[in-house]
Structure 1
Amino acid sequence: MTSNTKDGITIRIMTEEDYKNVKVFMDDDFFKSEPLCQASGEDVQRQNEEENDEYHLSMIAQGTCLVALDENNGGRLVGFVLAGAQFPEDVEQHRIEAEAMEQHTWGRICTLLSKIEQEANLFGRFGISKVLYSHITSVDTSMRGKGLGSRLAATLMEVGRSKGFPAMVAYCTSFFSARQKEALGMQCIYSLTYADYKDAEGRPIFTPAAPHTMARVMAIKL
């Protein structure tokens, strides 16, 4: 798949040159709307920024990331997906990395995601040795409710199939992202309610606004 255009919006594979605009978009959009980041009051994008840039660029190099461009508006970036391959050995690697992180919001999110990843046991459950991991999806506020997020996810599934991935997975911290993935045929194989995820003093670590009450692991065989 090189690109597809519908209603003036083109979706194509992300290049390294795109990342500068994607990063600005993340700052303006994703980090302000993702429930756990939004509820923190912290400048989450600046946390572990260098390591995250390196991780995102490694995903882009795999040809598994997408951008959505508004052709009626000078090719303006209106959405993106960062995604990449994950393997069984990554589960332990993510646990080690999360444990070593500073306990700011991003560090706490990575600890949560590592716990979810271990308990969902995706590789054992499906009996597979690699999976396409949909890491971050973001759509411009002006484009929400128009099906662009669904188009991005459906296009990513096509990319996954073309590259021989047996399954795709997304860890949804937002109610809306989980609902969108479910509408595309992805199944919730694990969930963790935020109210039940507590610190040593018994206080919930994350308290995002309703309807974001749980994190879900959404998966589909490709």
Structure 2
Amino acid sequence: MSTHFGSKDGILIRIMKLEDYENLKVFMGGNFYNGEPLCAFSGEDVQQCCEKEDNDYHISMIEQGTSLLAINENDGGRIVGFVLAGSQLSSDLEKHRKEADEMEKHSWGRIAVFLSEVERKVNIFERYGVSKLLYSHMTNVDASMRGKGLGTRLAAALMELGRSKGFPLMAAYCTSFYSARQKESMGMECIYEHAYADYKDAEGQVVFNPPAPHTHVRVLVISL
């Protein structure tokens, strides 16, 4: 299969390579972490919270050949969007629970605990009777490119890639209202949602308070 997924208006989508990662980290710092609702309004530099663990996880996804990069061919190959995605197995639910429980009590740790609880409650593997799925972990588009359909192109390319690799399903845990809306527009089904206002700590305090319209985490799935 080709490693490229077409160029439109000078923006090429291709499979991510390991040598892209250092530039991707810079892009994520300036675009993803300050825009994703739970990170952006945490009051912490979330990218620094678990940098080594995140690096290892992201690199493992890139090594699978399941992550995508959008580059501007008219601007020296500048990154303008990406998807980090990888294979997920039913055994990963317990693995993620243990990893989240062992994290420090910073913003990224709290997010990991929350998402682990959500994925175990939903249990897509049991619900759909599958042993693996393609997990769309992070998607982000440069602010200058939003509203131009690039997020939709990235999602469509990831679905195509997932089918070529034999994944029965693709799933995404959308913490952003806009991300969930975009994926629903492509036929992904929302099978679960959890209001942030209902997620509280041991003292009864709401853990996450992003502004509207980011009021829920939503789990979306599509058959490939």
Pairwise TM-score range, normalised by the shorter structure: over 0.9
- CA drift of 1:201 comes to 1.4
**Corresponding residue of 1:137:** 139
Alignment of 1:175-190 (within 5 A): 175-190=177-192
Q: Secondary structure at the match of 2:26?
A: helix
Amino acid at match of 1:138: N
Alpha-carbon offset, residue 103 of structure 1: 0.8
Identity of aligned residues (%): 64
Unaligned 5+ runs, structure 2: none
Counting helix residues as a fraction of each chain, which structure ranks higher?
Answer: 1
Q: CA deviation at 1:148?
A: 0.4
Quote the residue 1:194 is aligned against.
Answer: 196
Q: CA deviation at 1:170?
A: 0.4
Q: What count of residue pairs does the alignment treat as equivalent? A: 222
Residue 100 of structure 2 corresponds to residue 98 of structure 1: yes
> What is the rounded CA distance, in whole Å, between the counterparts of 1:99 and 1:110 in structure 2?
8
SS in 2 for 1:33: coil
Structure 1 distance, partners of 2:28, 2:140, is 7
Residue 9 (structure 2) pairs with residue 21 (structure 1): no
Task: Using the TM superposition, give the Cα deviation of residue 72 of structure 1 relative to its aligned residue in structure 2, in angstroms.
Answer: 1.6
**Letter of the aligned partner of 1:41 in structure 2?**
G
Summarize deviations over 1:79-127 as a string: whole Å, max 9, x none. 0100000000000000011111111000000001101100111001110
Superimposed CA distance per residue, residues 26-74 of structure 1 (whole angstroms, 9 cap, x where no aligned partner): 0010000000011111000001100110110010000000000111212
Q: Which residues of 2 match residues 24-43 of structure 1 at below 5 A?
A: 24-43=26-45
Q: Which 4+ residue blocks in structure 1 deviate beyond 3 angstroms? A: none
Determine the structure 1 residue equivalent to 2:3: 2
Q: CA RMSD in A?
A: 0.6
Q: Secondary structure at the match of 1:63?
A: coil
Correspondence for 1:114 = 116
The CA deviation string for residues 128-172 of structure 1, in whole angstroms up to 9 with x for no partner, is 010000001110000001110111011000000000000000000
Distance in 2 between the 1:96 and 1:41 partners?
Answer: 25
TM-score under structure 2 length normalisation: 0.98
